[in-house]
Amino acid sequence: MTKLRPILLIILLLATCFVGFNTYQQEQEKIELKNDLIELSKIKYGLFNVDEWKVLLADIISKKIEEFNLDDTNRDEMRVKISDFLTTAIDELEDRYYEEKSNSITGWFESGIASLTGTFGKIKKDIPIFTEQILDFLNDPENREAIRKYLVDKLNEYSDNTFSKTDYSAYNQIQYKYAIKNSQGTKDFLSSSIQEIESNIKPLKNSLILIAIATLLLIVLTKGFKRLEFIPVILIGLAFLLMGVFLPMIEIDARISEMTFTLLGEEVQFKNQVLYYKSKSILEVVQLMFSQNRINLIAVGFLVLAFSVLLPVSKIISSVFYIQSPKLKDNRFIKFMIFKSGKWSMADVMVIAIFMAYIGFDGIISEQLRQLEGLSKSIELLATNQSNLLFGFFAFTIFVLLSLFTSQKIQSTEINQS
């Protein structure tokens, strides 16, 4: 086993580099596709989009007008309602006419003539004729189309004067990028592409986990490690550190999976409305904090960079120097970085903190979405929180474990050799 161990470590190192690089490439491709899909699925293009509502209401209005057809049953009902409306309107007009004309001698004379000639009585006698004319007008397809057009035009006018316009620049850019005619087709294409990448990348991630387990078993269960044998182990840890730093750790995804309600007798449905989405790696978080130009955020960004990147890299470099150069064995800084920095690097604390933040945010989002579900009895709402820990988190955790066990192995080897 002692003779095979260097070969096994080199094979594990090469496998880590090869699989890790392919995993990184696939993850980057998936991130690009996921960001495009999230942009197209944002609630500002759906439930909160006035243009979407204009199309939806226009369709409902068109459907209702098309469904309007006067047969013998509802024609009699409509005849009574229209006749009553016209009778009431003419009575009100007559009362108002006589009231206005009573204020002057000329008006009193005109109202007397109208009363003698029975003007309003003649109009009331013609109410059945007017009623039939109105019914024929409403039943004419051309007139229904004119009514539909008028209502839709007024709807567009009111909405344009009331709501701000939606910025479609990012939306249109994505549509142009994939050259698919409609947004739903683009979403379906992106979803299928993401699923394909996830199915391809799953064996790669499993392989990396198996490599990490095999490396840990070699460190813990085998004895008599030689100095050069530590180099592949350290480099394997470096590979996992790079994946942990450059790949996203957490994906926070809160969305309305499905919202269904009834409007004007028609069922309205919105699906996959993204409320909030963020997916950041450690370096992206640091870059974001530095770009805010605020002292407190810059300080936090520097601490994150120091504890999660600079100290681990310094520890790896110190380990290599310690193993390769006997002169540096008594160097205090290098010995501190290898054997003592684990207490100060906070790498393990950071992993736990990220995990706890994920759990806490998951609970907040879930609770808020559950409250949203109870807004109205007439609304059927299926809200979901699709937040996940990503492979960057697990890669960083693996690095922490490898680093701790490697330091202990180096120390125990030095004690045994001395």
Give the pLDDT confidence of 205-238 residue by residue, as tens digits: 999 999 999 999 988 888 877 878 888 998 999 9
Position 409 scores a pLDDT of 80
| Predicted confidence band of residue 415 (pLDDT cuts 50, 70, 90) | very low
How far CA 394 is from CA of 10, 237, 343, in Å, comes to 23, 13, 20
Question: What contacts 304, CB < 8 A, 6 or more positions away?
Answer: 282, 285, 286, 289, 350
Question: What contacts 93, CB < 8 A, 6 or more positions away?
Answer: 120
Average pLDDT over residues 363-385: 56
Q: Which of 42-51, 69-78, 213-222, 344-353 has the lowest mean pLDDT?
A: 344-353
Position 58 scores a pLDDT of 81
Side chain identity at 356, as an amino acid letter?
Answer: M
pLDDT in tens, 37-49: 999 998 888 888 8
pLDDT in tens, 11-34: 999 999 999 999 999 999 999 999
Above 70 in pLDDT, residue 106? no
Average pLDDT over residues 108-128: 70
Q: How many residues does the chain have?
A: 418
pLDDT in tens, 321-341: 777 776 766 777 776 776 666
Position 204 scores a pLDDT of 95
Q: What percent of the chain has pLDDT over 70?
A: 76
Question: What contacts 20, CB < 8 A, 6 or more positions away?
Answer: 208, 239, 240, 242, 243
- With b for 16 or more beta-carbon neighbours within 10 A and e for fewer, the 360-369 pattern comes to ebbeebeeeb
pLDDT in tens, 283-316: 887 887 788 788 887 887 787 787 778 888 888 8
Gyration radius of the chain over CA positions:
37
Q: What is the pTM of this model?
A: 0.72
Cα–Cα distance, 292 to 356 (Å, whole number): 25
Cα–Cα distance, 358 to 116 (Å, whole number): 87
Cα–Cα distance, 240 to 394 (Å, whole number): 9
Position 361 scores a pLDDT of 57
Best CA proximity match to 274, nearest among 49, 45, 43: 43
For residue 354, count other CB atoms closer than 10 A to its CB: 19
Position 414 scores a pLDDT of 59
Which of the two residues, 258 and 337, has the higher pLDDT score?
A: 258
Highest mean pLDDT among 113-117, 160-164, 199-203, 275-279: 199-203
